[in-house]
Amino acid sequence: MSRCYYVIALATCACRAATLQIEPNTFITLQAGPHKTAKIDRNIYFRTYHIPGMFDEALAEELRELRISPGRGTGPYFGHNGGDSQRAGWDPDLTEQIRNYVEFYRNADKRYPGAPHALGGGNYPEFTKTENRKLYDADASMVDKHRKGIPPEDFEKCADLVYQWLKTLQTDNVTPPRWFSPLNEPDGNWRNSPRPPQDQADFARLLAQKLKTDFPNTGISGPCTAWPHPRGDLRRWTDSGWEKRFVETCGNVAAAYDFHLYSAEQWALENPRHDSPNFYDSYTNGNPFVWDFGKADAFLDLVYAHHQAFWNEPSLPVIITEFGRQNIFPQKGPWKNDINYYLYGTTVTRIWMQLMQRPEVQLTVPFILPVSDPGYAPQRGQAMYTRNEKGEPVRTPLYNFYRFFQALEGKRVKFNWQETTPEEQLGLTALPMRSGNRLMVLLHNAFDTEKRIHLKCGSITTATAARMRWENKTWRIDLRPQEHIDCSNLTLQPEETVIIYADLPAPEKPANQTIERFYSSTTLQSLQDGEARITLNLPHRPAGHTTVIPTLACPNGFAPGSTLTLHINGHTQTITLGFTAGIKDLFIPLHFELPDGILEKENTFHFKLESPKKWKASLATLRVELVR
C-alpha cells in the first residue's frame, strides 16, 4: 500500500517544533458505541439559529448559497391568558401560532430537504398557578430566575398540548422537528414545582412515553440546560443537578441529550475598537466559564460515561442547540465594533472544532440568527443581518464568517499531533478532510503569540490559504484561498483560523481505519489521597496505537511542580500540570499516548497526583481510543 504523508511542523520556539502528520490516503471513521462519523457533514455542523422555513425566499436563497440552514428555534408558546378553560378549544392566538409552524415546516421541506432540526419548548399555561416554592434541592446556580416551569399536577395537561401540536403537523404532512426539548433552558426558566431539576426530567420522561407510538419521527431531548458547566468541584453532578437528573431519569426513553454551551466574556467592552484580548489568557487567569479549550470535549465524555455507568449501555446521541460567547455587550443591542463579532466568531470556531470530533454529536447550532427578530431584540449582534433604526436588515461580519467555511466538507483523514505539550493540545487544533482530490486543513491557534508552521507536503509544492484573524483593528476574513503560501514558513497569528487547500494525486489504494472510543463506567473518582485506580475492559487486546484520556477536575489549577502519573501494565508516563496554574474550575482532558502493545484486554489504570500544594481533585472520566 502506498502512503502519502503531509507533515505540518509547528515551530513553538527556536529549539523545538511540534508536528502535525496527515495521511490523506487513509480515511478515518470516529466511533463510540453505535455512533459513527466518517465525514464533515454540513447538515450536522454548519447551521444557523431559528426555526427553518420562517424567512422569506430571498434570505432562504442566500442561506442556500452559503450552504447553511437554520437548525433550531424555540416554541410553541402554549401559555396564554385563557388558561385551562381555553386549552381544549385552542384559543385563536394559539391556533394561529400552530398554523404558522405548519407553514414554516412546509417551507423547510422545500428549501432544506434532509436537514434535521430541533426545537426547544417555549412555555406552558399556568393551569393552577401553583406558588413558586422557595426551597429547592439544588445548588443556587441551578435555580436562578425560574419563570416557566410546570407543577407535577399539570404534567398530563401540558403533555396533551404537545400531542395536539404534533398531531396538527402530522395531519398537514410536514416534517416535524427530529428532536423536541420540553422547555428551553430549564435551569434558568423552570418554576412552579417543588424540585425543579427532578420535575423537569419527570415531565420529559412522561412526554417521551406519551409521544413515542404516534410520533416516532420526533424524539424527546434534554435537559437543554443553558449553563451546564460541570465546575471543578463537580457540584452540577450531585444528585440534585440538572444534567445528572436528566440522564438518570430519561436516559432509556430520550432520543438525544441536548445542551447549550456558552463561554462567558470577562473583558466586555463598548468602547471603540482596539486590539483584541486573548481568551486563552482569560481562561488561565480565573475565568471559569470557558468551553473553548477542551472543556466541551471533557464534558461530553462525562455525559457519555455516566449514561453508560447508570444504564449499562452506550450513551445517546448529542445535540448542541445553542453555543457561543455571552457577555459581549450590548447583549441584545447593536454591535458597532468589529471586535465584538470577531470575539464571538473565535469562540464559535473553537467549540465547533471540538464538536466535530465527537461521533455522537448529530447537530450543532451556533447562536447566530440569519436576521434579528423584528419584535424581540431587533438589533441583536449575534445575527448575519441586524436591523437599523428603521427596522431594515443590515449585513454584519457574521455573514462573511459563514462564507469563510463555505467550502468545508469531505471525508475525514488520518492525522496526529507529535511532540506537543499538554498545553499546546488545548490551544492548537486541526481538522483535515478530503473532498475528491482536494485536501483541506482547518487550523486554529488560540494563544496570544504567533506560531510558525512548516508545511511539508511530500510531492506537493504549492498550497493556498484563507485566513481569519484580527488585523489592523478590523476582522479580516478571506473569502477565498487566494494567498499562495510558502510551505516552509506558514505563520499563524494569535487567535487566527486558517484553512489550507492543496491539490492531491488520486490515491492508488486508499486505506480505511476506525478510531474507536471506550469509556470506563467508573466516574468522579476522588484523588484526595493522591491516587485512583480505574478499570476498563476492552473487547480485545489492542494491537495498534492507543490513547488514554482522563479528565482531571479541580476547583483551581495546579502549582508548578505538580504532576499526574499513569501506571499501566508496567508502563509509566507523567504529565506536568504547572500550565494549569491560574485556571478556575479546572475540567480538562489530558492525553497519554501509549506505545503499541501496552494495553491488555483487561486493564487497571493507576493514576498518582503529586503537588507541592494541597488540592481537592477528581478524575471525572477515563476514555481510551484504539486505532483499528
**Run of H or E residues at 27:** strand 16-32
Helices then strands, each counted (H, E), the chain: 13, 34
Q: DSSP 3-state assignment of 387?
A: strand
**How many Cβ atoms sit within 10 Å of the Cβ of residue 152?**
16
Cα 117 from chain centroid (whole Å): 16
Measured CA to CA in angstroms, residue 405 lies from 114, 253, 408, 511, 564 at distances of: 20, 36, 5, 27, 38
Cell 457519555 belongs to which residue?
304
CATH 2.60.120.260 positions along the chain are 517-627
CA distance 380 to 373: 8
CA distance 234 to 306: 13
| β-sheet bridge partners, residue 175 | none
Domain 34-405, classified CATH 3.40.50.970, yes or no? no
List of residues 6+ apart from 508 with CB closer than 8 A: 2, 25
pLDDT attached to residue 8? 44
Outline where DSSP puts E strands in 524-570: 525-526, 531-537, 546-556, 563-568
CATH 3.20.20.80 positions along the chain are 34-405
pLDDT attached to residue 131? 45
CA distance 154 to 486: 66
Cell 488545548 belongs to which residue?
426
Rg (CA), the chain: 24
Half-sphere exposure of 156 (CA within 13 A, CB side): 1
Measured CA to CA in angstroms, residue 291 lies from 184, 297, 366 at distances of: 20, 9, 13
pLDDT attached to residue 179? 99
Outline where DSSP puts E strands in 318-382: 318-326, 361-364, 369-371
**Run of H or E residues at 603:** strand 602-610
CATH 2.60.40.1180 positions along the chain are 409-503
Q: What is the CATH number of domain 517-627?
A: 2.60.120.260
**How many Cβ atoms sit within 10 Å of the Cβ of residue 596?**
11
Cell of 600: 491488555
DSSP letter, residue 579:
G
Q: What is the CATH number of domain 409-503?
A: 2.60.40.1180
Closest CA to 256 of 120, 366, 146, 124: 120
pLDDT attached to residue 14? 42
CA distance 54 to 101: 9
pLDDT tens digit sequence for 601-627:
999 999 999 999 888 999 999 999 999
Half-sphere exposure of 372 (CA within 13 A, CB side): 27
**In the chain, which residues have pLDDT < 50?**
1-15, 81-89, 130-139, 141-146, 269-275
- Nearest-5° angle of CA 391, CA 394, CA 395? 155
CA distance 358 to 356: 6
